[in-house]
Structure 1
Amino acid sequence: MGTNRLIYFRTDGNSQIASGHLVRCFSVALSCLQLGLKVCFLISDEDSNDLLTRILGSHPAPSVLNDCENNFSIMRLKTAAFDHPDQELPEVLSLLTSNTTSAVYFLDSYYVTESYLQALRPLIKIAYLDDLKLFDYPVDLLINYDIIPDTAMPAYRAAYQNAGKLFLGTAYTPLRSQFQDKKACIRKQVSHLFITTGASDPYHFCLKFIDKIIDSSFILHILIGKFNTDKETLYRLARELPYLILHENVSDMASLMQTCDLAVSAAGTTLYELCALGIPTISFTIADNQLSSAQAFEEIGLIPCAGDMRSNPEAVLQSAADFVTSMSYNAKDKLADAASLSPSYTKRVSVHTRMCHLIDGKGAYRIALALKSL
């Protein structure tokens, strides 16, 4: 144990499974480096290597990585395939057997099997980052940062009886370092809106929402994902509409979000990031894997969901527009005198406080501390 400990991160990111696994593992890895631990990423393909390299290059504090250069490495497994982990077992077992350093194996893969974990466990401490609850994982540390109501916690604990230690709930959300120790400022007047659909916008939400929000007192900040097919049309509109600002390839997303007063976002990891900053938000869904996060945030009364763009786009757009209106102004605001706080401002402050209480941005550090002492 201690600062000489080596943490293996076994994960991947490519066009088929996207970047989320690598991004959240990198957040934990960075905290590990800051604690003096050594880090080695085990990956299966060139896509994962390229993506990890881009994550490294875009990190807003490269000096941290430079200082830890001797403690960070990447190794491509010759026999690995991201969706068939058992075929890499002989190579991984050989690596772990030859290593004499105290180590932990941090695994983040939806394809993991019980036989894979059982084979590793006699050789090394295992931590697993789970979203799916596919089986009772035989590991030493199990992390699941779902939003878990108190009434559901017993069921979660029952599902993970084979795990030695459980980290359950949003306190262990491994957000990027830029979202740690940062909070948005709640301004008395709403003027800047943050809008994102993720990597793509197959149902043209951004274009349709621009038509809904015709109040030019709002500045619309639209994040354009790399697979957004409406990109050219949006840029043409931006040349015509002075209140439309487009953003691409943003490295410091937290700073961009902090300039905004409200957010309209596709569900997913972005909701956790907006929550950490405390920016009042409404979500919507465009894919099945977004449904659970949208539902969870709505059930606790923190981030309402406008609905699914695939089934009822007009209702989603109207709900999102109504949210912006209700959080910006209501009839009682007109009655508030200059010395008092408007009801809409008070509402946003309340939401901000509850969001920041739910997710404080320190989940990656808490996980790193556990890996150090495991």
Structure 2
Amino acid sequence: MQISIFCDATPQSGLGHLKRMQKLKALLETMGAQTTLFASHSTDLPPDWHKASIHAKVVIIDSYLAPLSFYKTISSKLVVFEDMPQTYPPHVFVINPGYQAHTRYTTTAQQNPRYFLGIDFLPIDPLFISKNKALKPTLSKLFLSFGGSDLALPFYQKALNLLQKTPLEVHITAPLNIIQALQINYLQSPKYYYHANACFKDIAFLMQESDLALLAGGGMLYEAILSKTPIIAIPVAPNQQPQVQALSAQGSCHASSLEGLLESVQILSPLHNRERMQKDQEKLKIGHKLHKTMQEILTC
């Protein structure tokens, strides 16, 4: 089966949509599908996907920028991944894989058999799954990533300024342009290690080796939960706030701010606090319904 996937990868939106669709692409290929991924636009303007030849039986879109006119041109079976409720043609399958996503939808949408809401439907990479990560008594290594959007750079800069006051070894994972900007000011710090354009395998390894993760509210939050790594979460965009607050209330992360970062590190320094968070992370069943759901969509 031929499947075309369209997603954002821009300075404003960062790489979250692209990474989510890369994971979905890998899953679909294990199911025997032939997939093509379109993410070749580097500005914050709506992508000109109309020119893309769409002969696929199924089209999947994960985009803030795609205009409504693009959705209307698609005659193939259409699946949309989204983070906030939008309006689509009635034949569309809608997947929102955010934690407690159903709370943002009307009762009608929740009961619609074409809507799939919640972390059960999140694309994941099995590399991140840890069954028994042992936590160390003392914090020593911190994994830091605020994503790859333009909004993230000042968060990296301010966090690194604050973390200089701690004894933590910090591993920074970000796109090359952000790493280069950070190295101008922090190149000489012996505690900071930079990982530019790291692949899923390298990110999973770094996360597994870390005692604590400092993240924004994107997809990497769920990767850290899968790896059973204690998390401090600081949203870098308003749309990340509901997800971070909900997961913090559930216990899988600690919601914070740049102003409260050092205090949050102290809160998670005691081993028993991190162990309690890890137990709450284990309660979440991330992505476990997606394979069956995609099979049903493709064959209906």
- TM-score, normalised on structure 2? 0.81
Q: Distance in 2 between matches of 1:149 and 1:269?
A: 14
**Offset from partner CA, 1:277-298 (integer Å, 9 cap, x none):** 1211111133334333323323
Query: Match for residue 264 of structure 2?
Result: 323
Match of 1:265 among 206, 215, 219: 215
Counterpart of 1:138, as a letter, is: P
Match of 2:123 among 160, 174, 177: 174
The CA RMSD over aligned residues, in Å, is 3.2
Contact 1:143 1:166 in 2 (8 A): yes
Counterpart of 1:197, as a letter, is: F
Match of 2:46 among 83, 97, 104: 83
Larger-gyration structure (1/2): 1
More divergent stretch after superposition (34-43 vs 274-283): 34-43
Query: Match for residue 28 of structure 2?
Result: 32
Alignment of 1:328-343 (within 5 A): 328-329=269-270
2:206 pairs with 1:288: no
Give ranges in structure 2 of 5+ residues lacking alignment: none
Match of 1:220 among 149, 167, 170: 170
- TM-score, normalised on structure 1? 0.67
Q: Distance in 2 between matches of 1:285 and 1:256?
A: 21
Match of 1:356 among 282, 285, 299: 282
Query: Match for residue 117 of structure 1?
Result: 71
Q: Distance in 2 between matches of 1:141 and 1:149?
A: 15
Contact 1:24 1:176 in 2 (8 A): no
Q: Distance in 1 between matches of 2:69 and 2:278?
A: 44
Counterpart of 1:111, as a letter, is: L
Match of 1:195 among 144, 147, 152: 144
Query: Match for residue 108 of structure 1?
Result: 62
Query: Match for residue 274 of structure 1?
Result: 224
Q: Distance in 1 between matches of 2:212 and 2:153?
A: 20
Aligned residues between the structures: 291
Q: Give % identity.
A: 23
Query: Match for residue 336 of structure 1?
Result: none
Contact 2:99 2:246 in 1 (8 A): yes
Alignment of 1:235-254 (within 5 A): 235-238=187-190, 243-251=191-199, 252-254=202-204
